[in-house]
A = this chain, B = another copy of it.
Amino acid sequence: MVTIKDIADRAGVSFSTVSKALRDSPLVQNKTKQHILSIAKEMGYQPNLAARSLVSRKSGAIGVVWPSIERAALSSLITKINEQLEKKGYITLLSISHLESAIEIFRRYQVDAILVFGDRDSISSFSSISPLQIPILTYGAAGYTPFSTVDVNRGQAVRLAVRHLARLGHKDIAYIGEPQTQDPLQTVKIEAFRDEIVQLGLQARDNAVLQMNGLEFHDGYLAARAMLEQTPRPTAVISGGIDLTRGILRAIGEHGLSVPHDVSVVSYDNLPQMEDIGVPMTVVGVAIATITAHITTAILELIDQPESLKTVYLEPELVVRASTSHLNND
C-alpha cells in the first residue's frame, strides 16, 4: 500500500508537504502541489482511512440500520442516500442486524452518525437504547422516538388523494393497504382515509378498506380482485404503496377493465418509476429525491452539532398523471 511517505520520497519533499498538497492546502506552492498530485495519481495512492480517522477522531462512516431488509420499497431510498453521502466523503455501513446489535457494532466502529429506518421492530426498541455520544437520526418514526427525525406527513398524502378523487366526482372510493398491522406508518394512512371520507361527506362503505396481509405485489393483486367483485364496484381506489399498485393494475387488467376509464387509481409513493408501470400513475407523497436530500442534510447537520435535535416533517404533493379521470356516468 502506497503512503504519503512513499510519495514524499519520490517527489523529494517532506511527507507533511505531501499531506497538505493532497488536501489542497493553500500552504503549499501550486507548482509543487501539481507535481505531488500527479505522482500520487501515478502511484495509485489511496488515503489510509484508519490513520485519518485516528487523528481526526471521525470515522467518516455513517451507520444505517435497516432491520427489515426484505422491504424493497426502501431500497431506492437507501441507494440514493448512500450515493449522496458518498459524494460528501462518507461511507455508509449498512447493518441488517436488529437495532440493539447494530448500534453496538456501530459504536465499536465509531461511526459519525446513525440513521435508523423506523418500522415495527425498531420503533418498539427505541426506548431501550442507552444514551450514547453518537447522534441518531430516525426516518419514519416521528413521535415514537426521542431522537432527531425526518418524516413524511403520510396522513396528509392520503387526504390529498381523497380530495383529488372527490373533485373528479368520485363518491365511492376504496383503499388498498395494510390494515391489520401494528405498523403505525400504515395505520396513520388508513385513519386519514376514513376521516377525510367523512369530512367530505362521501360514501363510507364498510369494506372500503380492503383486508390483506402484506404490502407486496400479490397482496395488492388479491385485494384488488376482491374489490372488483363488490357491487356496486368502487369507481376509484387509493393504493398504499408502489408494490401494491402494480398488483392492483394487474388485477384490473385481468378483469377486463381499464384505468382510468373504469377505475381511477391514485397511489401512495412518489417515485420516478411511477410514470412507467403500465399507466402513468397519479401519485401522492413526497418525492424520493426530496426525502433523501433532507435526510442527507439532516445527518450532516447532526454530525456538526451532535447535541441538536432536528425534526423535519415533509409535506406531500399530488402529482396528477393519467391514472385518474372524471367519474364516468355511463
Interface, chain A (partner B; CB < 8 A): 1, 46-51, 53-54, 57, 59, 69-70, 72, 75, 78-79, 82-83, 86, 91, 93-97, 105, 107-110, 133, 216-218, 221, 247, 250
Contact = CB atoms under 8 A, between A and B. Distances in A.
Copies, count: 2
The 10 closest A-B pairs by CB, nearest first: A50-B53, A94-B94, A50-B54, A50-B50, A70-B72, A218-B218, A69-B75, A217-B218, A46-B108, A51-B54
B1 A46 contact: no
A91 B93 CA distance: 10
Nearest to A104: B46
B105 A86 contact: yes
Nearest to A221: B218
Nearest to A246: B218
Contacts of A110: 1, 46, 48-50
Given A48-B54, A50-B59, A96 B75 contact: yes
Given A1-B110, A93-B94, 12 more contacts: A47-B108, A49-B109, A49-B110, A50-B50, A50-B53, A50-B110, A51-B54, A69-B72, A70-B72, A91-B105, A94-B95, A218-B218
Contacts of A105: 86, 91
Contacts of A51: 50, 54
A133 B1 CA distance: 9
Contacts of A216: 217
A48 B83 CA distance: 27
15 contacts: A1-B133, A46-B107, A46-B108, A47-B108, A48-B54, A49-B110, A50-B51, A50-B53, A50-B110, A69-B72, A70-B75, A79-B97, A91-B105, A93-B93, A217-B218
Contact of A247 (B95, B108, B109, B218): B218
Contacts of A69: 69, 72, 75, 78-79
Contact of A96 (B78, B218, B247): B78
A91 B110 CA distance: 12
Nearest to A101: B86
A109 to B, nearest CB: 6
A109 B96 CA distance: 20
Contacts of A109: 49, 91
Most chain-B CB neighbours within 10 Å: which of A51, A217, A218?
A: A218
A72 B73 CA distance: 12
Contacts of A97: 79, 82-83
Contacts of A46: 107-108, 110
Most chain-B CB neighbours within 10 Å: which of A50, A51, A94, A109?
A: A50
